[in-house]
Structure 1
Amino acid sequence: MLIALSMKNKLGFEDGSIEKPEGTDSDVLSSWTRNNNVDIFWILNSVSKEISASIIYVESAHELWLDLKESFQLKYKPRIFQLKHELMSLAQDQNSVSIYFTKLKTTWEELSNYRPVCSCSKCTCGGVKNPSSYYQIECVMSFLIGLNDSYSQVRGQLLFMDPLPSTNKAFALISPEEDQRKITSQVGCTSDPVGSMTFTVKSYNAKRPGIPNSGTIAMVVIEMIQQWRLQRIEERGTFLYPLQLPWPYG
């Protein structure tokens, strides 16, 4: 709501900086009334019907804003508790780095809205910049802590960087590592057909305990596959997939 009002340059009606004119100039008063009513209309359409029914008769956008602030601002503490709890329990687990990063940043950005900030724009000692930098470090630490242990090496490299990269930069450095692992995993799944066949034969035998000497049968079948592959390579120079095993292994 504040973003929309700021785009229309009407925040002054909410904070009271644009007061109702006291003179007799009807054009100025008419302009103020029209803009004030537009603000009231926007606010009423931004809240639920139950809330709008209790504030529909307020004549000033500033009074309306103060009424809502007084009624609902005190509820931010439970929300802060909830966000803090989500951050403490947030981890990558089975999610991708991208999904985990999005969840963490969304929670962190909402939490940052509840932190007190200086709005006077007159500070020259740098005291406002220090807390902001500290919050950024906290966000990066939360992101790195929640990563899976498989990223411990790249996480250690990021922690030794000086200055510590931002959260977006840390994500940009870790994301290619995840993509590389996906490619390596896909290549590894198709590079060892005999090993894959060994697992298939053993799994098949495990489901059929009635077959005698299933371990010996598995080794014989694997040896036959290897001999068949060498023969096929000698004859045609190629190796065809997938292998079709005779019953009961086919």
Structure 2
Amino acid sequence: MVEDLDTLKLHPSDNPGLSLVTTLLDGSNFLSWRRSIKLALTAKMKMSFISKDDEIPERNTKEFEQWIKVDSMVTSWILNSISRDIVESFIYTKTSKELWTELENRYGQSNGPMEYRLKRELASLSQARENTDIKISDQLMQFLMGLNDSYGVKFL
């Protein structure tokens, strides 16, 4: 049963078309997106909808009807905060908690092999840049050594 009845209240400005964050989830920005969503839901006193499993009131009660209404609102807010390219994968979740769990499962896990590959590519880019700098320096030296003596430094 819902412990805090304030979580079942909606502000008159709350509407299903609202996007809680400025940057939409695109799959690569999950950690920062998740933090922004959690902050927004906390400010709206709706974090319990995605964080607790046992918060659904008994069916066929006024409290349950209100819970469905607010949970649908939270689900809409989260869906509106996801890029159109990937939102279709999540449109049929039944509750905001189920939607959140799906997002966590898909994007919240660390991808070790991808992280390794990206760090290796970054390292090779840094090495390539160092090699390029050395090559440019060598080419400059070869150019200077090939200049005519008339361009050389004259000593007294």
Q: What TM-score range do you get, normalising by the shorter chain?
A: 0.3 to 0.5
Report the TM-score when normalising by structure 1: 0.32
Query: Could you say which structure has the greater relative contact order, defined with CA pairs below 8 angstroms and 6 or more residues apart?
Result: 2
Structure with the bigger percentage of helix:
1
Report the TM-score when normalising by structure 2: 0.45
